[in-house]
Structure 1
Amino acid sequence: MSSQLVLASTSVYRQALLQKLALPFEACNPDIDETPNSNESAKELVLRLAKAKAKAGAKNFPQGLIIGSDQVAVIDGKIIGKPLNRDNAIKQLSMASGKSITFYTGLALYNANTNAMCADVEAFTVHFRVLTATQITAYVDKEQPFYCAGSFKSEGLGIALFDRLEGRDPNTLIGLPLILLTEMLLSQGVDVLS
């Protein structure tokens, strides 16, 4: 691989996902303003932020292939973010009980050397079981998903909250759609299987 691969994210979850591709990479903090624009849809928001993160990462890696990613969850047409505390996590999971949440993950791959940008949005839907208040509280206390959009960790005990999952790539739910990333890398001359 001639270009350095860089993940513009400090997320340990995204870093762990990228390690699955067995490519050497560095991680950096993109340090961008993630405030939504007025009347911006969930898909528009994550696409804009993924591109902005990739471009921000290029400041320190001018010859790199920079990966930017951003994710939001949508329930009943409303964007929900990370709960940040126990009460908000319980509230989010109570809202989700018996319903479906769609996660939109924006992914961008920026070739800082050629100025080429690949970007797209991948959707993934989680269908929740009907949950009791006791189940929700027990889950939140055990896993403390305070920094996860939607208030769960699907790679952990959170899987017990679901009736079914729907989408092309389960990695999307954790925040980095690897199938799409593999396609984007190939378009930039990086074949993860060679």
Structure 2
Amino acid sequence: MKNLILFAFILGVCVTNAQEFQLTDKYNVTNQRSIGQEEEDTWAIDVVVTNNPEHHLATLNIQDYGLLDEIRISVLSNPGLEDITEILKITIEYNTCCASIEEFYYMVTNDSSFIALLSVKNEYAYEPISDIHYIFPNQPFGKEGTILRAALQYTETYTIKDIKVLRSIAWNDDDFDAEDAITAINY
């Protein structure tokens, strides 16, 4: 009985400490503008801090503005990384013959500066059977002091069947721009 109570307590602590990204209005998309030639339909958007629009965070390119479905901005508070207050995730979703989702991640430091992680792009022809995400220490399957970039595989009921770690990044290694974005394609 004691073991059962201890197991329930540990499980409860893990579940309450595990967090997911929450939509926020703390950051905003502004200054949408066309770049390049008209027939390319490529646009640029700026991401700023809502209550301080002069605090420019990033400029992101929208490859085909006509196919843009949605832009979502969400945060993960207290991600479990030293001197990081939150993780900002910007999701750009395109709707074509197959869905395409591009995610940009930024770590927000204690002094309100931003550290970019490599972007992740997932493409789905049908139902998602696998995709790529970052997993932070305070999330389910997270690892202390480490950022995981992992491919998640799902069952038919959309529960996680398998996780394959693609890259394990020690948080103190801020050299994130050495590679191109990783793309997962589901067909």
Work out whether the TM-score is over 0.5. no
Per residue, is there more helix in 1 or in 2?
A: 1
Per residue, is there more strand in 1 or in 2?
A: 2
Flag the structure with more relative contact order, 1 or 2, with Cα contacts below 8 A and sequence separation at least 6. 1
TM-score with structure 1 setting the length: 0.33
Q: Which has the greater radius of gyration?
A: 2
